[in-house]
Structure 1
Amino acid sequence: MVAARERVAASLIAAVGPDGAVRRACASRALESALLLVLLRERGTHPVQVRELGAFLASGQGQATGFDTALAQAVLHGRQVDGDVVGGQLLAGFDHFSIARKRLLFDVHLAVASAVPFDPSMLRPVRTGGGEGDNSVTWIEMIMLSVRILAADGLGRAEEITGRERERLLELLGSSRAPVWENYTAAHLLALLAVQRFAPSHRLVEAGVEGVLACRNPDGGVPPMSNLDVFNTGPAGLALARAGADRPLLHRMCDYLIGRQMPDGGWAFGENMRHSDVDASSYAAACLAAVEPERHREALVRAGGYFRNIVGIDGGFPTYVKGDPSEVGMTGGAVSALAWDGTGHRDLLDGAARWLLDAQHQDGTFERSWSLSEANTIWRTMWALHSMPEPTRTALKARTADASAAAHQFLARAQNQDGGWGYRPGDASDTTSTCYSLLALTAMGRRPQDDAVAAAGLAHLLSRQEPDGAFTALPDQVAPRPLLFDAPVFTDIWVLLTLTACDSDQAR
């Protein structure tokens, strides 16, 4: 195991740039590649890139669902989808407050690609200007405005779009500090397609096209995020810190993160963005605390202010906006980031811990949120609960023990015969789910040397190492939920965290 850990650590260290950032691209995906292909065809430009995008889609890469395949078949062969691949497949079992918006969005994606016809239900009012309800985050407002404009045009009802709506979309599209709007490629492309309908010669369209083309991968496809460097660096630094990497390297990574801290004290997932999120902020703060909390005290105090300002009245944490429903993964991450200084955040930690305990299902699981793997939120919850400082640790000792026992029982039942875990019970074992499961077990204090479930899991994980020392994994992250995206560097991060936790007392 030591040799495997050193190999993975070396691979992750090689991903750290001179400025301390982990600059590794997301893999290409069908959705963004299909949208760009439609846009370039409409504009009649970039014939070479059109051919390359077509070749990528024809290869079948980046197609994890029937929705992806329907998009590819529509733009390549003009085939309309057979059946409801959104409601009946993609969103089947999707239990989230955003489901109505997601249904509309994915249906419009298919309509733009000519996989389904536009429907009058797609043309619904959108409150412009932000600040309320579903549109309180600017990218949601921009997406919904784009959907409305595209649907109106597709239905032959473009006159229903007001001048203010068009102006607002241009205002939002032009507000980006990054070449791709908020590094969110699909939202950027949807807005470009909408502006193409009423102002095809606008400078923002051509500039936007060039921005997306510049972030394409060598396979010709388009990634879902054009920059994930801040998010990558947080957990990578945490993993390397726990593995005992050189201090100058770790300090360089932390200095990069501090340089990217937002005015509100949080972090965004990529560079040149305006919106912080709890997920990126949790990993960044956990990294700073793991490396040297006193050296990074000022940044950590600011991060504490961010978490305090976004926490929900129920004690849990949302992903983006105060007032949105709390989520298990976000709450577990926030607790783990705040635990370095429990005396300063005792009220937050106590409320969040109680919310997490209440959120556990009878079978020991939690909501899956931003991952397809059941084990992800189990790990993040166990990490949080077992990181609690006093007096919360003692006050919740019995409930934490019960929650840990239920989680352990679930992981024992869900473990496959080969020792690994899949996304859900019955799914084939995959590297990432196995890592999350082992991280959950070690966070509870279960080690391979004294726990048969953990021992079998570690043996399976080590068996997945390839002859060259590398590990490969299925993607498990989703954005926009529930669409999978693949960030290959995550594999090294989760594997290194896991191997270090299995061989030490650094599981928490």
Structure 2
Amino acid sequence: MAQAVLHGRTVEADVVGEELLAGFDHFSLSRKRLLFDVYLAVVGAVPFAETMLRPADPGRRGGDNSVTWIEMIMLSVRIVVAHGLGRGERITDAQRERLLELLPSSGAPVWENYTAAHLLALLAVQEYAPGHQLVETGVAAVLACRNRDGGVPPMSNLDVFSTGPAGLALARAGADPALLHRMCDYLIARQMPDGGWSFGENMRHSDVDASSYAAACLAAVDPVRHRQALLRAGSYFRGIAGEDGGFPTYMAGDPSEAGMTAGAVSALAWNGSDHADLLDGAARWLLDAQRADGTFERSWSLSEANTVWRAMWALHSMPEATRTALKDRIADASEASRRFLAGAQNPDGGWGYRPGDPSDVASTCYSLLALTAMLVRPELDPVVRAGAAHLLSCRHPDGSFTARPDQVAPRPLLFDAPVFTDTWVLLALTACSGGEAR
């Protein structure tokens, strides 16, 4: 894309299918394929093609929390492609009006803090209404969120999502209670009407990932003080749980995902008696979802160890009744994951995204968290000791750490959120030093 914009170069090879999405095993594959092909066509790297002109998938479902960005993205794609092919007459007045209705519907300046969707919608509106005020205000919103280096972030606001795991890490490390209460007050003030949380401020849509970390933070800091917020969160998780026992990312009825299911379990574990049925179903779903090698689908991370950690945290946080009923299965799952992590450890003591990849800080943290979540005693386990030593060796002279990017959106594209490096390191070092392991 950059070469096309800067130098007018075209792409002959199938870089989307053979490179970008190679090995991408997710239910959104066909939609991502179309989206990235259109990105390349917009900048002139590849020609527009009739195969790109698919009917827009409205994706609208009942309720105030319906995820509309898929609808907006697919509608924008259809409009951009139709005009790119010189077939603007294929777009109906109703579709044009719908996009003009969707674009200003978010409370965030950049639509739902999702810059890629926002930009694609602006490109579409510009095709049939170039002088529309939404184009001018929309471009101004993108320019306003530029970073100091001149670049534009893929997500214009991640404050809510960042606060959940950061608060959890600080709580486990024994931070000042006054600080923790301020962080929790921030989260409670941004709890959505459905009881969940969004990843950024001023958004319409909650998601299981942000909600899981926010609720886990509140429970870790003070479940009594935050009881009402946690009860509302419990209602949210109950409402979005799948019939198969798992949890999706955004909408009830979407395919369940291992990372989301594990996160929901970890968030509900504080009140296992009220959610015993949900937790039991989720535990069984996770156990069924584990692969023979001890891993799970990677979901929102490129690191195998991320979902292993979240699954092990979840399985070992179950109420006693579930842990007793599934004792042998949980033990077998833990052993499979432990074997995988032991075999994937690099000679330097760290872990990479996948076995054989160079060690990186985030994957090393996830791996250490997974092992300690299985109640492995750090002082007695050579794998954990070597991993902790490697992690400490990555510390910069000023005490900071740097990790390869691991946040993924739109999947499987990486973006860098440096605050998460500090969060994962603090969680891992706390667990390895004998602090709260889960």
Q: Indicate the TM-score class for this superposition, using the shorter chain for normalisation.
A: over 0.9
Q: Which residue of 2 aligns with 1:238?
A: 168
Give how far 1:448 is off. 2.5
Matches within 5 A, 1:379-394: 379-394=309-324
Q: Unaligned regions of 5+ residues in structure 2, if any?
A: none
d(CA) in 1 for partners of 2:68, 2:313: 32
| Percent of aligned pairs with the same amino acid | 78
One-letter amino acid of the counterpart of residue 332, structure 1: A
> Aligned pairs, how many?
436
d(CA) in 2 for partners of 1:310, 1:128: 20
Whether the aligned pair in 1 keeps the contact of 2:344 and 2:351 (CA below 8 Å) is yes
Q: Which of the numbers 234, 237, 249 marks the counterpart of 1:319?
A: 249
One-letter amino acid of the counterpart of residue 17, structure 2: G
Q: Which residue of 1 aligns with 2:155?
A: 225
Give how far 1:127 is off. 4.5
d(CA) in 1 for partners of 2:17, 2:102: 30
d(CA) in 1 for partners of 2:282, 2:56: 34
One-letter amino acid of the counterpart of residue 369, structure 2: L
Residue 454 (str. 1) matches residue 384 (str. 2): yes
Q: Which residue of 2 aligns with 1:425?
A: 355
Q: Which residue of 2 aligns with 1:175?
A: 105
Whether the aligned pair in 2 keeps the contact of 1:265 and 1:306 (CA below 8 Å) is yes
Q: Which residue of 2 aligns with 1:343?
A: 273
Give how far 1:390 is off. 1.7
Whether the aligned pair in 1 keeps the contact of 2:58 and 2:70 (CA below 8 Å) is no
Give how far 1:125 is off. 1.2
Matches within 5 A, 1:100-499: 100-128=30-58, 130-131=60-61, 137-499=67-429
**CA-based RMSD:** 1.1
Whether the aligned pair in 2 keeps the contact of 1:129 and 1:168 (CA below 8 Å) is no
One-letter amino acid of the counterpart of residue 237, structure 2: F
Give how far 1:447 is off. 3.0
Give how far 1:128 is off. 4.2
d(CA) in 2 for partners of 1:389, 1:450: 27
Instruction: Show CA shifts across 1:448-486 (max 9, x none).
Output: 311111111001000000111110000112110001111
Give how far 1:129 is off. 7.7
Give how far 1:505 is off. 4.2
d(CA) in 1 for partners of 2:246, 2:105: 31
Q: Which residue of 2 aligns with 1:79?
A: 9
TM-score calculated relative to the size of structure 2: 0.98
d(CA) in 1 for partners of 2:277, 2:162: 30
Give how far 1:137 is off. 2.3
Please identify, of 391-400 and 164-173, the stretch whose mean Cα deviation from structure 2 is larger: 391-400
Whether the aligned pair in 1 keeps the contact of 2:73 and 2:121 (CA below 8 Å) is yes
DSSP-derived class of the 1:449 partner: helix
* Change in CA separation of 1:309 and 1:219 when aligned onto 2, cut-off 3 Å: same
Whether the aligned pair in 1 keeps the contact of 2:173 and 2:435 (CA below 8 Å) is no
Compare relative contact order (CA 8 Å, sep 6+) and give the higher one, 1 or 2: 1
Q: Which residue of 2 aligns with 1:16?
A: none
d(CA) in 1 for partners of 2:61, 2:215: 27
Instruction: Show CA shifts across 1:140-198 (max 9, x none).
Output: 00000100000001100011100000000000001111110000000000000100111
DSSP-derived class of the 1:465 partner: coil
Whether the aligned pair in 2 keeps the contact of 1:447 and 1:455 (CA below 8 Å) is no
Whether the aligned pair in 2 keeps the contact of 1:128 and 1:165 (CA below 8 Å) is no
Q: Unaligned regions of 5+ residues in structure 1, if any?
A: 1-70
d(CA) in 2 for partners of 1:108, 1:127: 16
d(CA) in 2 for partners of 1:169, 1:317: 30
DSSP-derived class of the 2:281 partner: helix
Instruction: Show CA shifts across 1:42-61 (max 9, x none).
Output: xxxxxxxxxxxxxxxxxxxx
Whether the aligned pair in 2 keeps the contact of 1:128 and 1:168 (CA below 8 Å) is no
Whether the aligned pair in 2 keeps the contact of 1:229 and 1:269 (CA below 8 Å) is yes
Q: Which residue of 2 aligns with 1:96?
A: 26
Whether the aligned pair in 2 keeps the contact of 1:216 and 1:223 (CA below 8 Å) is yes
